Structure 1
Amino acid sequence: MVRVSTLLLMTILAAQAQPPVRQPLTLWYRQPARQWVEALPIGNGRLGGMVFGGVETDHIQFNEETLWTGGPREYQREGAAQYLPQIRQLLVDGKQAEAEKVAQEHFMGKQSNEEGYEQKKTAWLASVRNLTSARANPAATAFDDRAWKTMTVPTADGWEKAGLEGLDGALWFRTSFDLPQAWVGKDVVLDMGRIRDQDFTYLNGELVGSDEGIAKNRRYKIPAAKLHAGKNQLAIQVINLFDKGGFIGVKTSQPTFVVYPEGQQPAEGVPLAKPFKYWVQDETPPASPRYQADYQPFGDLWLQFKNTAPATDYHRELDLMTAISRVTYAANGVNFTREYLVNAPDQVMAVHLTASQPGKIGFEATLNSPHRGASVRKIDDQTIALAVQVRDGALKGESLLHIQTKKGKIAVVGNKLTVSGADEATLYLTAGTNFKNYNDVSGDPATLSQRPLEAIRTKGFDAIKAAHSREYQTYFNTLTLDLGHSANEQLPTDERLQRFEKSPDPALAALYLQYGRYLLISSSRPGTRPGNLQGIWNDLLTPPWGSKYTTNINLEMNYWPAEMLNLSACHEPMFAAIEELAEAGRKTAKAHYNARGWVLHHNTDLWRGTAPINASNHGIWVSGGAWVSHHLWEHYRYTQDRIFLHDRAYPIMKEAARFFVDFLVKDPKTGWLISTPSNSPEHGGLVAGPTMDHQLIRDLVKNCIAASEILGTDAAFRDTLQTMYRQIAPNQIGKRGQLQEWLQDVDDPKDTHRHVSHLWGVHPGTDITWDETPDLMKAARQSLLERGDEGTGWSLAWKINFWARFRDGNHSYNMLKLLFRPAISPEGTTGGGSYPNLFDAHPPFQIDGNFGGSSGIAEMLLQSQGKTIDLLPALPTALPTGFVNGICAQGGFVLNIRWQNGRLSGVEVTSKAGQPCVLRYGDKEARFTTEKGKTYRLNQDLNVL
Structure 2
Amino acid sequence: MKHLLNRVIIVLLLLAAAQNVFSQDLKLWYKKPAEKWTDALPIGNGTLGAMFYGGISSDRIQFNEQTLWSGSPRKYQRDGAATYLPEIRNLLFAGKQAEAEALAEKHFMGKKNNEDTYPADSAAWVNKMRAINGPQQQSFQDVAWKIMKLPTEQGWEKAPGFEGLDGAVWFRTIFEVPADWKGKDLLLSLGRVRDIDFTYINGKQIGNTSGTAYRKYIIPAADLHTGTNVLAIQVFNFNDKGGLTSAAKELMIYPVGVQVSSVKGGITSGETISGVDEKGTVIKPIKLAGNWKYWIQDANPPAYPSYQADYLPFGDLILNFKTSSQVMDYKRDLDIGKAVATTTYNSNGVNFTREYLASDPAKAIIIHLKASKPGQINMVALLQTSHKISSVHQVDANTIALDVKVQKGVLKAVSYLYIKALSGTVKVINNQISISKADDVTIYLTAATSFKNYKDVSGKPDEICKQALQAAKTKTFAQLKAQSITDYQQYFNTFSVNLGPGKVDVPTDERIKTYSVAFDPGLLALYMQYGRYLLISCSRPNSKLPANLQGIWNDQMVPSWGSKFTTNINLQMNYWPAEELNLTPCEKPLFKMISQLAVTGAQTAKIHYDAPGWILHHNTDIWLGTAPINASNHGIWQGGAAWLCHQLWEHYLYTGDIDFLKKHYAEMKGAAEFFVSTLVKDPVTGFLISTPSNSPEHGGLVAGPTMDRQIIRDLFKNCISASEILKTDDAFRKTLQEKYAQIAPNKVGKFGQLQEWMEDKDDTADTHRHVSHLWGVYPGTDITWDSTPQMMKAAEKSFQYRGDEGTGWSLAWKVNLMARFKQGDHAMLLVNKLLSVAENGSAKERGGVYHNLFDAHPPFQIDGNFGGAAGIAEMLLQSQQGYIDLLPALPSSLPDGELKGICARGGFVLNMLWKGGKLQQVQVTSKIGRECVLKYGDMQTSFKTEAGKTYTVNGLLKTI
The verdict on a shared fold, with TM-score over 0.5 as the criterion, is: yes
- Contact preservation (8 Å) 1:156, 1:249: yes
SS of residue matched to 1:338: strand
What letter matches 2:770 in structure 1? H
In the alignment, is the contact (CA less than 8 A) between 1:386 and 1:400 conserved in 2?
Answer: yes
Q: Which amino acid aligns with 1:819?
A: L
Cα contact 2:194–2:243 (8 A) shared by 1: yes
Residue of structure 1 in register with 2:3 after alignment: none
Deviations 1:163-222 (A, max 9, x none): 1112110111122333445544554432222221111122232222222223x2222344
- What is the rounded CA distance, in whole Å, between the counterparts of 2:100 and 2:138 in structure 1? 49
Which residue does 2:869 correspond to in 1? 854
Aligned counterpart, 1:12 = none
Counterparts in 2 of 1:749 and 1:224: CA distance versus 1, 3 Å: farther
Q: Which residue of 1 aligns with 2:9?
A: none
Residue pair 2:495, 2:900 contacting (<8 A) in 1 also: yes
| Distance change >3 Å, CA 748–CA 228, structure 1 → 2 | farther
Partner of 2:265: none
Call closer, same or farther: CA 1:115–1:481 in 2, change over 3 Å: same
Quote the Cα distance in structure 2 between the aligned partners of 1:17 and 1:567: 15
Cα gap change, 1:352 to 1:176, in 2 (>3 Å): same
DSSP 3-state at the match of 1:765: coil
Q: 2:634 aligns with which of 595, 618, 626?
A: 618
2:467 match: 451
* Alignment partners' CA distance in 2, 1:346 and 1:170: 44
Give the aligned partner of residue 393 of structure 2.
Answer: 377
- Corresponding residue number in structure 2 for 1:534: 550
Residue 934 (structure 1) shift: 1.0
Structure 2 counterpart SS, 1:545 = helix
Offset at residue 362 of structure 1 (A) = 1.9
Q: Distance in 2 between matches of 1:405 and 1:38?
A: 30
Could you tell me how far apart the structure 2 residues matched to 1:692 and 1:250 are?
39
In structure 2, the CA distance between the partners of 1:204 and 1:584, relative to structure 1 (3 Å rule), is same
CA contact (8 A) 2:362 2:480 kept: yes
The counterpart of 1:787, out of the listed 799, 802, 811, is 802
Among 138, 141, 162, which residue is 1:141 paired with? Answer: 138
The yes-or-no answer on 1:262 pairing with 2:257 is yes
Are residues 1:658 and 2:659 paired? no
1:914-933 alignment, distance < 5 Å: 914-933=929-948
How many Å apart are 1:250 and its aligned residue? 5.4
Question: In the alignment, what sits opposite 1:9?
Answer: none
Q: How does 1:395-794 map to 2 (within 5 A)?
A: 395-486=411-502, 488-501=503-516, 504-528=519-543, 529-648=545-664, 650-794=665-809
Residues 612-664 of structure 1 deviation map (CA, whole Å, 9 limit, x = unaligned): 1111111111110011110000000000001100122x110000000011111
The answer as to whether partners of 1:186 and 1:262 remain within 8 angstroms in 2 is: no
- 1:63-82 deviations in whole A, cap 9, x for unaligned? 11111001111111121100
Residues 323 and 747 (structure 1), Cα distance of their counterparts in 2 relative to 1, 3 Å cut: same
CA distance in 1, matches of 2:506, 2:388: 42
Deviation by residue 1:848-906 (Cα, 9 ceiling, x = unmatched): 01001101111111111112211111111111101000000011110111110111111
Secondary structure (helix, strand or coil) at the match of 2:239 reads: coil
For 1:16 and 1:172, how far apart are their aligned partners in 2?
61
Q: Separation in 2 of the partners of 1:60 and 1:382? A: 19
Question: CA RMSD of the aligned region, Å?
Answer: 1.8
Deviation at 1:723, TM superposition (A): 0.7
Counterpart contact for 1:258–1:266, Cα < 8 Å: no
Aligned to 2:912: 897
CA contact (8 A) 2:42 2:52 kept: yes
What CA deviation, in whole Å up to 9, does each residue of 1:788-840 have, x standing for no partner? 11111111111111111111111111111111111124889342110100001
2:148 aligned residue: 151
Distance in 2 separating the partners of 1:126 and 1:516:
51
Give the counterpart letter for 2:25 in structure 1: P
Q: Does the C-alpha gap of structure 1 residues 882 and 289 become closer, same or farther in structure 2, counting only changes over 3 Å?
A: same
Match of 1:236 in 2: 233
Task: Return the offset for 1:138.
Answer: 1.6
Q: 2: distance between equivalents of 1:295 and 1:20?
A: 34
The letter for the 1-side match of 2:420 is Q
SS in 1 for 2:176: strand
Match of 1:176 in 2: 174
SS of equivalent residue, structure 1 residue 352: strand
Kept in 1: contact 2:179–2:226 (CA 8 A): yes
Equivalent residue number for residue 4 of structure 2: none
Q: CA shift at 1:485, angstroms?
A: 1.1
Distance 2:663 2:343 in 1: 47
* C-alpha contact (below 8 Å) 2:27/2:334 kept by paired residues: yes
Amino acid at match of 1:261: V
Q: Which residue number in structure 1 is paired with residue 5 of structure 2?
A: none
How far the C-alpha of 1:262 sits from its partner, in A, is 2.9
Does the CA-based 8 Å contact 2:175-2:229 persist in structure 1? yes
Cα pair 1:914 1:929 within 8 Å, conserved: yes
**Equivalence for 1:334:** 350
Matched residue type, 2:172? R
Deviates more, 1:524-533 or 1:275-284: 275-284
* One-letter amino acid matched to 1:436: K
Amino acid at match of 1:617: N
Q: Distance in 1 between matches of 2:533 and 2:787?
A: 36
Matched, 1:102 2:118: no
The runs of 5 or more residues in structure 2 that have no matched partner are 1-15, 263-274, 276-284
**Partner residue, 1:198:** 196
Give the Cα separation in 2 of the matches to 1:260 and 1:775: 64
Q: Which amino acid counterpart does residue 937 of structure 2 have in structure 1?
A: G
SS of equivalent to 2:709:
helix
Q: Is the 2:149–2:289 contact (alpha carbons within 8 Å) kept by the matching residues of 1? A: no
Distance 1:826 1:674 in 2: 43
Partner secondary structure for residue 537 of structure 2: helix
- Please say if residues 444 and 473 of structure 2, whose CA atoms lie closer than 8 Å, have aligned partners that are also in contact: no
Per-residue deviation, 1:156? 2.2
- Are 1:187 and 1:262, in contact at CA under 8 Å, matched by a contact in 2? no
The residue type paired with residue 157 of structure 1 is Q
The one-letter amino acid of 1:792's match is T
Three-state SS of the structure 2 residue aligned to 1:894 is strand
SS of residue paired to 1:315: strand
Label 1:895 to 1:432 Cα distance change in 2 as closer, same or farther (>3 A): same
Q: Is the 8 A contact 2:17 2:494 kept in 1?
A: no
- The structural deviation recorded for 1:403 is 0.9
Choose 270-279 or 608-617, whichever is displaced more: 270-279
Shift of 1:232: 3.6
State whether residues 397 and 431 of structure 1, in contact with CA within 8 Å, keep that contact through their aligned partners in structure 2.
Answer: yes
- What is the TM-score of this pair, normalised by structure 1? 0.95
Q: Which amino acid aligns with 1:493?
A: T
Separation of aligned partners in 1, 2:595 and 2:448: 24
Higher alpha-carbon deviation: 819-828 or 639-648: 819-828
Letter in 2 for 1:130: A
Task: Name the amino acid aligned to 1:596.
Answer: P
Cα separation, 1, equivalents of 2:111 and 2:23:
53
Distance 1:146 1:748 in 2: 59
1:170 and 1:777, CA in 2 relative to 1: closer, same or farther beyond 3 A? same
Is the 2:411–2:451 Cα contact (8 Å) retained in structure 1?
yes
Query: Take 1:205 and 1:777, find their aligned partners in 2: how far apart are those partners?
Result: 68
Match of 1:63 in 2: 64
- Change in CA separation of 1:187 and 1:99 when aligned onto 2, cut-off 3 Å: farther
Is the contact made by 1:501 and 1:821 (CA closer than 8 Å) also made in structure 2?
no
Query: Would the aligned equivalents of 2:218 and 2:256 in 1 still touch at CA under 8 Å?
Result: no
- SS for the counterpart of 1:35 is coil
After superposition, give the CA deviation of every residue in 1:330-369 in whole Å (9 maximum; x if it has no partner): 0110111100001111211100011111221221110111
Q: In structure 1, how many angstroms separate the alpha carbons of the residues matched to 2:18 and 2:534?
A: 30
Contact 1:259-1:272 at 8 Å conserved across structures: no
Aligned length: 922
Name the aligned partner's letter for residue 376 of structure 2: K
The correspondence for 2:208, drawn from 184, 204, 210, is 210
Q: CA contact under 8 A between 1:175 and 1:273: conserved in structure 2?
A: no
Task: Judge conservation of contact 1:217–1:250 (CA < 8 Å) in 2.
Answer: no
| 3-state SS of 1:285 partner | coil
Following the alignment from structure 2 to structure 1, what is the Cα–Cα distance between the partners of residues 541 and 18?
34
